[in-house]
Amino acid sequence: MNETAMPIDPTSAQFATEHFFRHESARLVATLAGQFGAQRLQWVEDVVQEALVRALQTWPYRGVPDNPAAWLTQTARHLALDQLRREQRWNEREEGISAEQARWMAVPVDKAPSDDAHLRDDTLRLMFVCCHPQLSAEAQIALALRTLCGLSPAEIAAAFVTSEAAISKRLVRARQRIRELALPFELPEAHELPQRLDAVLASLYLLFNEGYKASSGEHLVRSDLCHEAIRLTELLATHPATGQQQCHALLALMLLSASRLPARTDDAGGILRLHEQDRSLWDQSLIHRGIQHLQLSARGDTLTQYHLEAGIAACHSTAANHAATNWARILTLYDQLVQLTPSPVVALNRAIAVGRVHGAQCGLEALAAVQGLEGYLSLHAALGTFAAELHQPQAAAAHYRRALALATLPSERSFFELQIASCETASPANAIK
């Protein structure tokens, strides 16, 4: 290992540690699970966590290594081997462990194996293990998001619109089931891929969504998650065994949505709504690639939610300006989507499209019919927007206050505080004064 390190203050060292660990933890978990078996998944996660602790203890004083990812990898490998040696039931395997260690140590750390192409990618391999059909669909996706995508139980709960406690219990049951089944760390046979592919795609979809609009933290956008989701989905879309229409559709959705990331916030990190964004900042190369994959997804009779959502994203991405957006087409696609995958969130988004096509009053009426999202920030934000457009500042302010109470990001809180202030300024009571 290259021991050269750059001087750094403790605060910056902690930031760097958390940054690199967030990016590298999934790869480390996948690599170690491949070596020691998916049935030891919880143990592997603990080893990786311990590697972070070592980094937090070491880097503030010795500096961040030139190759932080390699440092974490090597530390995690040493910790794993040390723990195995201490386990009585591994004593008889000491010779095999030593041989495995020798093989690892023969590879220079700064040239440690990187992600292989396609489904040889360790992260994708473990995703397919997590998405075993003997686990419930919800457990498959939650486990993949936690283990491989590094999302916290709270972030996963936000994706599922449920409680953190429910997700934590789901994860415990899933890990226990993996141990009971002694699931191997291997890809299923080609004929078994379809029954697992849907859960893998659903996990990547939710990973991208968390990056596109974070549920916690300091920033609205987490582009690292978006680009990792794109990378993994592209591996699936370009592999002959998994390159099905729904893979191309999901990849199209991600690329078209990611094209707008640079314009979603202002220089201070404030939220910019679609009609406020500078479209010259939109990444045209991503839009072009997205349209290409959308065309590939249409080669066949398959129609999934990813096809419809990618079509909606294409309507936004290809419009010359906000006024030119084909909202009628978007509403038609939402009508199809609500039939295909009915859910309160889809109904919410369809209601917004109704308001754009038929006017704010119709939008409010459509939103009033949405059930099960009383604690969902986007519902109250949409209600406030339509009320403001109907020149009902007091009603709009009430909705925005509800949204503010639910906001978890600084940018969200600032946004709703500005909207409330604007509504109060426009209030008839203030106008009389």
pLDDT at 102: 44
Q: Answer for the pair 159, 216: CB distance below 8 angstroms, yes or no.
A: no
Residue 419 has pLDDT above 90, yes or no: yes
pLDDT-based confidence at 313, cuts 50/70/90? very high
pLDDT at 366: 97
pLDDT at 409: 93
pLDDT at 4: 43
Q: What is the pLDDT of residues 163-204, one digit of tens each?
A: 889 999 998 888 888 788 777 656 677 677 777 899 999 999
Strand partners, 6: 64
Q: What is the mean pLDDT of residues 106-133?
A: 58
Spatial neighbors of 387 by CB under 8 A, at least 6 apart, are 360, 364, 393, 395, 396, 399
Q: What are phi and psi of 152, to 5 degrees?
A: -80, 160
Q: What's the CA gap between 291 and 261, in Å, rounded? A: 17
Q: What is the pLDDT of residues 196-251, one digit of tens each?
A: 899 999 999 999 999 999 888 888 898 988 998 999 999 889 888 788 999 999 99
Residue 137 has pLDDT above 80, yes or no: yes
Q: What is the pLDDT of residues 42-57, one digit of tens each?
A: 777 788 778 877 877 7
pLDDT at 68: 78
Q: What's the CA gap between 395 and 367, in Å, rounded? A: 14
pLDDT-based confidence at 399, cuts 50/70/90? very high
pLDDT-based confidence at 311, cuts 50/70/90? very high
Q: What is the mean pLDDT of residues 405-415?
A: 95
CA angle 20, 22, 26 (to 5 degrees): 110
The letter for the amino acid at 411 is S
Cβ atoms within 10 A of the Cβ of 38, count? Answer: 24
Instruction: Give the 3-state secondary structure of residue 271.
Output: strand
Q: Answer for the pair 110, 70: CB distance below 8 angstroms, yes or no.
A: yes
Spatial neighbors of 223 by CB under 8 A, at least 6 apart, are 211, 258, 261
pTM of this structure? 0.77
Residue 16 has pLDDT above 80, yes or no: no
Higher pLDDT, 296 or 91: 296
Averaged confidence pLDDT in the chain: 82
Q: What is the pLDDT of residues 363-376, one digit of tens each?
A: 999 999 999 999 99
